[in-house]
Amino acid sequence: MSMANPVYGKQGVEVSNACPIDPVLAGAALFLILLGLVMVASASSEISARTYGTPFYLFLKHGVYVAIGLATATAVLGVPVRVWQQLDWILLLLSFALLTAVLVPGIGREVNGSTRWISFGLFSLQGSEFVKLFTIVYLAGYLVRHRDAIRVSIAAFVKPLALMLVVVALLLEQPDFGAAVVIMAAVMGVIFLAGVPMRHFLPIITLCIMATAFVAMWQPYRLERLAAFTNPWAHQFGGGYQLTQALIAFGRGEWFGLGLGNSIQKLFFLPEAHTDFLFSIVAEELGIAGAFLVITAFAILVVRGVWIGRRAERAGMLFHAYLAYGIALLLGIQAAINIGVNVGLLPTKGLTLPLVSFGGNSLIISCVFVAVLLRIDYERNVVGQPGNARSRRVNRYGR
């Protein structure tokens, strides 16, 4: 964000009279949210009419989620980053509690063969969505506390990974393989960006590949998904049905699409058209051009998040930096997996497109991700100026 002529507030702290939040990051996120509103309205109209008697039911519900997400983001925007750092261990323990509670009979609610939700009557809580943020907060705090040891000591490097493996094991019990992949990939990415040498990663990467292969072979339905993924047209009325219908949507859309609201695949051909496979409907109605705009918006979001983290790191605000890296990676990895599934590059994972797809928990936590990034950038601009007293405290303590 460009800085205007500085002014000075209380205690001589330099502040900016420019926009207090990053307009590029906020603009990309707002574009995706608004596009999601429009596309959910289109993609869900038929299933809403058949199931609820009105074509606008799921759209209105999604609108409520957007309002809650924006309100929550506004509240989070006012929370100092040091509060997240002070709560890192508590949030990790809360992650374990959420992932354990959902497995307790009578508490967890099963949907489509997975037990990922805790029902509270009017709404359901999907703990894994919040665990993504909580684990990255803990990891950022750990890296600040052990920033020297983790670069030279294998034990310091392995300790946070061991805790993350417990999180992954609980996720696989639900099962939620997609969330497990997103969290572990983001964790490894943050540790790498923190300066850990590559020699520490090679054995861990090997173990992760072996573990992923074992998990895939351990449960037969995952092997079936893999077989359908490698040759979806041979299983187009079985395990490859969703992928073939998604590919048909891309074929229909061509370069500039059939026009908003004119999708054929949403007419009960493509399951989960308003959630996991909303990107395919975007490609069908808005064409490759519309799909490219979505990818571009996510690229801006991720690159801007990493840039914010890099600026914070240069200012010595290490917790801010690692948290920004983690959030940017979470958004980017989940978006990449969702888009990869839609275009047939990856097997089906059951992950929504952040900020765009229908889904209350995912949408709310994605808005929180953006708010935390905006807060990090705001604090970097206000207290990260070289030479002032608050900046020196930040550089010394990382908070």
What is Dmax (Cα atoms) for the chain? Answer: 70
pLDDT bucket at 166, cuts 50 / 70 / 90: very high
Tell me the two tokens of residue 78.
Answer: 């006012």
Segment 139-158 shows an average pLDDT of: 88
Q: Is the predicted pLDDT of residue 315 greater than 70, yes or no?
A: yes
Segment 189-207 shows an average pLDDT of: 82
Give percent of the chain with pLDDT exceeding 90. 54
Average pLDDT across the chain, whole number: 85
Tell me the two tokens of residue 160.
Answer: 């946070």
Tell me the two tokens of residue 347.
Answer: 């097997």
Segment 101-123 shows an average pLDDT of: 79
Q: Is the predicted pLDDT of residue 267 greater than 90, yes or no?
A: no
Interacting residues of 133 by C-beta distance below 8 A, sequence separation 6+? 91, 327, 330, 365, 368, 369, 372
Query: Which candidate, 312, 327, 328, places its Cα nearest to that of 381?
Result: 312
Per the CB < 8 A criterion, the answer to whether 133 and 324 are in contact is no
Query: Which candidate, 340, 330, 229, places its Cα nearest to that of 279?
Result: 340
Q: Which residue has the tokens 């506390």?
A: 145
Helix, strand, coil percent values for the chain (each to nearest 5)? 70, 5, 25
- The beta strands (E) that lie in the chain are given as 6-8, 14-16, 108-111, 114-119, 124-126
**Is the backbone peptide bond immediately before 203 cis, with ω within 30 degrees of 0?**
no
Q: Which of 37-51, 152-166, 234-248, 261-275 shows the lowest per-residue confidence on average (mean pLDDT)?
A: 234-248
Q: Is the predicted pLDDT of residue 121 greater than 80, yes or no?
A: no
Query: Which candidate, 375, 377, 398, 366, places its Cα nearest to that of 308?
Result: 377
pLDDT of residue 61: 94
Query: Which candidate, 330, 378, 322, 323, places its Cα nearest to that of 355?
Result: 330
Per the CB < 8 A criterion, the answer to whether 143 and 191 are in contact is yes
How would you list the strands of the sheet with 124-126, edge to edge? 108-111, 114-119, 124-126
Segment 21-41 shows an average pLDDT of: 95
pLDDT of residue 107: 84
Give percent of the chain with pLDDT exceeding 70. 84
- In sequence order, the β-bridge partners of residue 205 are none
pLDDT of residue 353: 95
Most confident of 20-24, 238-242, 306-310: 306-310
Q: Which of 67-81, 93-107, 223-237, 319-333 shows the lowest per-residue confidence on average (mean pLDDT)?
A: 223-237
The amino acid at 32: L
Query: Which candidate, 73, 79, 83, 41, places its Cα nearest to that of 58?
Result: 41
pLDDT of residue 379: 94
Interacting residues of 36 by C-beta distance below 8 A, sequence separation 6+? 62, 66, 278, 353, 355, 356, 357, 358, 363
Measured in Å, how far apart are the chain's first and last C-alpha atoms? 22
More confident residue, 158 or 186: 186
Segment 161-184 shows an average pLDDT of: 89
Tell me the two tokens of residue 176.
Answer: 């939620």
Interacting residues of 5 by C-beta distance below 8 A, sequence separation 6+? 17
For residue 297, count other CB atoms closer than 10 A to its CB.
20
Segment 169-186 shows an average pLDDT of: 89
- 57-87 confidence digits (pLDDT tens): 999 999 999 999 999 999 999 999 999 999 9
Q: Are strands 124-126 and 6-8 parallel, antiparallel or unpaired?
A: unpaired
Query: Which candidate, 331, 317, 332, 333, places its Cα nearest to that of 376?
Result: 317
Q: Which of 44-48, 346-350, 388-392 shows the lowest per-residue confidence on average (mean pLDDT)?
A: 388-392
pLDDT bucket at 217, cuts 50 / 70 / 90: low
Q: Is the predicted pLDDT of residue 120 greater than 80, yes or no?
A: no
Q: Is 14 helix (H, G, I), strand (E, B) or coil?
A: strand
